[in-house]
């Protein structure tokens, strides 16, 4: 699949459907703004977008980012305004990463308990026969 630029998508939609170009531009801009916001806010571990696919947060990446941010925060000298601002920004990002890690752990535990229960039912069914 060859990716298209937004201008190409807008032009094609306007020509094919006889729509107002400003309206189509506003709708596409709003949609992708919301998609970007959901992806960066890290409120969900999986986001499925029709036509684009599924975006999944990887536990290994989260763990690596947590370690990286903790090292950077420990090294920052907060006497300057710029470094203080960076520390505040990274601290809030680190908090988001910890929250998403909790959600990933909950999902992993839920999958493990489901598999244990599923295997227990299989064993019970085989024993009954």
Q: What is the pTM of this model?
A: 0.68
Helix (H) or strand (E) holding 47: strand 46-49
Q: Give per-residue pLDDT as tens, 14-37.
A: 888 888 889 888 988 898 888 888
Q: Rg (Cα) of the chain, in Å, rounded?
A: 23
Question: Tell me, what DSSP letter sits at residue 54?
Answer: E
Tokens of 61: 């990446």
pLDDT tens, position by position, 68-121: 999 999 988 878 888 888 899 999 999 999 999 999 999 999 999 999 998 888
Domain spans, the chain? 1-41, 57-128
């Amino acid at each position: 699949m060859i990716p298209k630029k937004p201008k190409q998508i807008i032009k094609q939609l306007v020509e094919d459907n006889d729509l107002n170009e400003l309206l189509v531009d506003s709708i596409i801009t709003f949609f992708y703004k919301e998609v970007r916001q959901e992806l960066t806010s890290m409120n969900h571990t999986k986001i499925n977008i029709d036509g684009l696919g599924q975006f999944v947060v990887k536990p290994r990446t989260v763990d690596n980012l947590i370690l990286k941010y903790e090292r950077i925060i420990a090294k920052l000298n907060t006497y300057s305004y710029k470094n203080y601002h960076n520390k505040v920004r990274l601290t809030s990002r680190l908090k988001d990463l910890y929250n998403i890690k909790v959600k990933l752990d909950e999902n992993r535990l839920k999958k493990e308990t489901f598999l244990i229960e599923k295997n227990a039912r299989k064993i019970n069914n085989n024993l009954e026969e």
